[in-house]
Structure 1
């Protein structure tokens, strides 16, 4: 990891150029010169090295569109994502030295910036050749998948899990974690290539774009599923509820399929009464006390070769707008990452 520019300069940043009127495009963003990055008391200066992109950001593109406890991004504002950074100037912060890799949960799309000490977390993987693991299997999407499958669903060996958006950043790791826990998995994805990935990861893959989603799910799990992990909402949530066995559990972690309109309750919610189903939502940021357990368990699976990082990697800050547009269009597999090293 190197930083060839003056570390006090802000470098470049990506700003929101306009609020998308429809599907997100690269033209909704623009590159600009960033302000100088000078750390204040209790802050360190860091350089952006890898940026993880999150589909949930789309719901915050507009000052009045706030979700997940974060404010909307106004035109001219700089979006934020979780990121791997390098400490350029620790500015006297205890325990930090220049060159240390760290993870920041809310990093601006900017080459260099100051960050408070409390927002810096040591990177679990320091090997530069394995840097992407900090934003995938051991990063934000991995942590989300672990909390959903291990803590909220309490998935048990021999149970069957249905995962929506299963070839995405959270989904591809949830599939692997469920398999590591001894469960069967049915994964839903949006292309033949993504279904092929799911089958490589040990799941039964269902292509939601192939038509007759309910029939395809019934064929993949003729006797139903025990847990449904939902990141989509809408029709997919209804299909998951229909597939649950008695006493089944739904874990809600997103509603990407309803981002373009008003949310509506599932038409089949009464099935939850008659079949004693449960539905639990969660936000991963409320489970930070579980991170050490997550890193120990998943780190062990990783070392044993039972799980692996899944990502689509782009290069350079200028690639961020297009990478985010591709993510929202369903391109690629696993986590979408931009490598700035």
Structure 2
């Protein structure tokens, strides 16, 4: 008798791509609300743009590749890529920033390499790195935290600024924008100020940037949720955070007026987002546990070096992409040999 059975394996995987991406999205929700609380509802506009463009390029790429829309459109991977990208850009970034970023993230970094599960580089960081290098001016102009902002923008104001570059009456680009804490540090040091003098600016909080440190706290809690649900393992986040502390501490001890403290490294910029939500990408990262530790440590070291000595104020995107290139070699050197196999 013949049984109508599917091909092996017959035991379904416990975690589908859709389920994993759904939990990542859920873990990001608190940080998104914190972003709204400290920097306004402009993040909603950027999320709308990034998600819209991500699915547009997802559908077009699948059609061009002759692939069915289902299940790829519904696996939520494009949405998570868009959310991660939107959290990295200014709330008032022009609409075409998301268009260009999502084109390189979805069409190039993802589908040009074969689609989900085949990308060599983290798609969100590819899109972010492209727009960061290509459009430095709109990418560096952020809004100040709400508690020190001189103007309060409505949702309609955000749409006008993002889509038409039209500002409300008695406002202009310079009056509503501000540097991020990391850009303020870089600019202040280039102008000859000591770090202790730069940190007297109202942009700074107890450890990192005002508002940024609380967003970092919520990202940390979201990362703990992913660890609890076993969506990610502890190796990469622990390696990123602990290596950042260990590697930046000697610089800080050597000259506290020139180099950021370990806590300011952790609670400024995108390090916490990178540690739990970007560097833990199982496709573009490492597979072995030892490899994950090396991968995370490499990201931390490169990020600290770029922040302290590089031309860009934050290096998390470049650090992730550089380590993505080294991930296959790291895995080759760290994956244990099967039992009984002799060393060649």
What TM-score, normalized to structure 1?
0.26
Greater strand content: 1
